[in-house]
Structure 1
Amino acid sequence: MCGGSVRSDYWDQPAFETIRPRRMVAPIVFNSPHSGRNYPARFLAMTRLDHLSIRQSEDAFVDELFGRAPHLGAPMLRAHFPRAYLDVNREPWELDPTMFVEPLSDRFNTTSPRVAAGLGTLAKVVAENKPIYRDRLTLDDARMRIEGIYHPYHAALQNLLSEAATGFGVAVLIDCHSMPRLGRNGEKATPDIVLGDRYGTTCATGLIDLVETVFTAAGLRVARNRPYAGGFCTRSYGRPQHGVHALQIEVSRHLYMNETTLEKNSGFEPMRQLIGGLIHALVGLDLIALAAPPMTLGRAAE
Structure 2
Amino acid sequence: MNDNESRDFDTPFEVLMPEGGIASPFVFNSPHSGRLYPQAFLDQARLDAVTLRRSEDTFVDELFTCATSLGSPLMRAHFPRAFVDLNREAYELDPRMFDGPLPPYVNTRSIRVAGGLGTIARIVADGAEIYRDRLSVREGLQRIERYYKPYHHTLRGLVDRARRTFGMAIVIDCHSMPSSRITREPRRRPDFVLGDRYGTSCASIITDVAQETLQRLGYMVTRNKPYAGGYITETYGAPAAGQHALQIEINRALYMDEVKYERTSGFSWLANDIGHLCQRLTEIAPDTLLTRQAAE
TM-score where L is the length of structure 1: 0.92
Q: Deviations over 1:43-101 (max 9, x none)?
A: 11111111210111100000001011112210011000000000010000000111000
Which residue is 2:63 aligned to? 65
**Which residues of structure 2 form unaligned runs of 5+?**
none
Report what 2:278 is aligned to.
Answer: 279
Is the Cα contact below 8 Å between 1:27 and 1:164 reproduced in 2? Answer: yes
Instruction: Say whether the 8 Å CA contact 1:24–1:73 is kept in structure 2.
Output: yes
For 1:10 and 1:219, locate their aligned partners in 2 and report how far apart those are by CA, in whole Å: 44
Give SS of 1:39's match.
coil
> Structure 1 residue 270 and structure 2 residue 269: aligned?
yes
1:294–1:154 Cα change, 3 Å: farther
Distance 2:287 2:273 in 1: 25
TM-score (norm 2): 0.94
Name the structure 1 match of 2:244.
Answer: 245
Q: State the secondary structure of the residue aligned to 1:172.
A: strand
**Secondary structure at the residue paired with 2:52?**
helix
Gaps of 5+ in 1: 296-302
Alpha-carbon distance, 1:281 to partner: 1.2
Aligned residues: 290
Q: Does 1:290 align with 2:289?
A: yes
State the AA in 2 paired with 1:261: K
Q: Paired residue for 1:298?
A: none
Identity of aligned residues (%): 48
Partner AA of 2:58 in structure 1? A
2:17 paired with 1:20: yes
1:76 to 40, 50, 74: 74
Check whether the contact 2:4–2:40 (CA below 8 A) recurs between aligned residues: no
Distance 1:160 1:255, change over 3 A: same
Residues of 2 paired with 1:27 and 1:218: CA distance?
25
Counterpart of 1:195 in structure 2 is 194
> What does 1:53-202 correspond to in 2, within 5 Å?
53-182=51-180, 187=187, 190-202=189-201
Equivalent residue of 1:249, what SS?
A: strand
SS in 1 for 2:253: helix
Residue identity opposite 2:17 in structure 1: R
Give 1:289's aligned amino acid. Answer: T
Q: How far did 1:9 drift?
A: 2.6
On the 8 A contact 1:242/1:294 being kept in 2, the answer is no
Structure 1 residues 220-241: Cα deviation after superposition (integer angstroms, max 9, x where no partner): 1111111100000000010000
Cα–Cα, structure 1 residues 294 and 13, in superposed 2: closer, same or farther, change >3 Å? farther
Q: Distance in 2 between matches of 1:218 and 1:161?
A: 30
Q: Give the Cα separation in 1 of the matches to 2:206 and 2:295.
A: 20
Are positions 1:10 and 2:9 aligned together? no
**After TM superposition, what 4+ stretches of structure 1 lie above 3 angstroms from structure 2?**
5-8, 182-188
Report the alpha carbon displacement of residue 105 of structure 1 after superposing the two structures with TM.
3.8
Write the letter of the residue equivalent to 1:17. E
Alpha-carbon offset, residue 185 of structure 1: 7.5
Q: CA deviation at 1:8?
A: 7.7
SS in 2 for 1:111: coil
What CA distance in whole angstroms lies between the structure 1 residues aligned with 2:139 and 2:184? 39
Shift of 1:169: 0.7
Structure with a larger share of its residues in helix: 2
Q: RMSD between aligned alpha carbons?
A: 1.8
